[in-house]
């Protein structure tokens, strides 16, 4: 074979290779599009699963917090109910202390000990007493049962306390009954 024929044969073979490569590329482009679609579909599925997982985790966290708050609320409600039954006793002890000024010192000392025990018990239960003379009147905390003019106190202050108020946290157990200045 001559050199010219060899070159022509080589060129023809290259053209065949190039045509074959073009056909392969054309065939490989179709599956490449299918692969891209499959990859996108799988990525979407993973994203949806991740979103579902994150929502479930957030829902569980909210449930856990809500349950913990409900438990605390139940404790506060039960404590408030029990303390409400003891408040008349506490009032009686305080009234006894106020009215036993001329009594035997030992009796007064005994009543003072009972009063301090009640105060310590209320403190352990996180029960706060409120409603003292000179404090600002708050209609959310106090029941005003009278008004009085006073030169010593500003307007809107508590002039006298007829019944001490009690609360646990933000929950009112009993409103304070007070007299307010004009």
What residues contact 77, with CB distance under 8 A and at least 6 apart?
171
pLDDT at 28 over 60: no
pLDDT at 4 over 80: no
pLDDT at 57 over 80: yes
Look up residue 84 and give its two tokens: 């409400």
pLDDT at 19 over 90: no
Over the chain, what is the mean pLDDT?
85
* Nearest by Cα to 113 from 93, 86, 87: 93
Q: What is the mean pLDDT of residues 51-58?
A: 96
- Residues 67 and 41: their CA atoms lie apart, in Å, by 39
Beta pairing class for 142-148 and 176-181 = parallel
pLDDT at 142 over 90: yes
How sure is the predictor about 29, in pLDDT bands with cuts at 50, 70 and 90? low
* Nearest by Cα to 137 from 178, 81, 91, 96: 178
How sure is the predictor about 21, in pLDDT bands with cuts at 50, 70 and 90? low
The pLDDT, as a whole number, for residue 73 is 86
Please state whether 151 falls in left (phi above 0), alpha (psi between -120 and 50) or beta: alpha
CATH superfamily, with its number, for domain 128-182: Head domain of nucleotide exchange factor GrpE (2.30.22.10)
pLDDT at 10 over 80: no
Beta pairing class for 165-168 and 171-174 = antiparallel
How sure is the predictor about 33, in pLDDT bands with cuts at 50, 70 and 90? confident
How sure is the predictor about 23, in pLDDT bands with cuts at 50, 70 and 90? low
């Amino acid at each position: 074979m001559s050199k010219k024929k060899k070159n022509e044969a080589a060129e023809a073979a290259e053209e065949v290779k190039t045509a074959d490569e073009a056909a392969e590329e054309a065939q490989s482009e179709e599956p490449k599009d299918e692969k891209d679609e499959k990859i996108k579909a799988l990525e979407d599925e993973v994203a949806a699963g991740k979103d579902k997982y994150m929502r479930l985790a957030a829902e569980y966290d909210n449930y856990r917090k809500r349950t913990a708050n409900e438990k605390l609320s139940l404790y506060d409600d039960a404590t408030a109910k029990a303390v409400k039954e003891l408040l008349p006793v506490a009032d009686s002890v305080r009234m006894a202390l106020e009215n036993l000024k001329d009594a035997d010192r030992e009796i007064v000392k005994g009543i003072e000990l009972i009063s301090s025990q009640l105060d310590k018990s209320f403190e352990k239960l996180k029960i706060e007493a409120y409603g003292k003379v000179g404090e600002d009147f708050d209609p959310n905390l106090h029941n005003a049962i009278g008004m009085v003019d006073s030169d010593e106190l500003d307007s809107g202050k508590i002039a006298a306390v007829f019944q001490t108020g009690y609360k646990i946290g933000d929950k009112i157990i009993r409103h304070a009954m007070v007299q307010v200045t004009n």
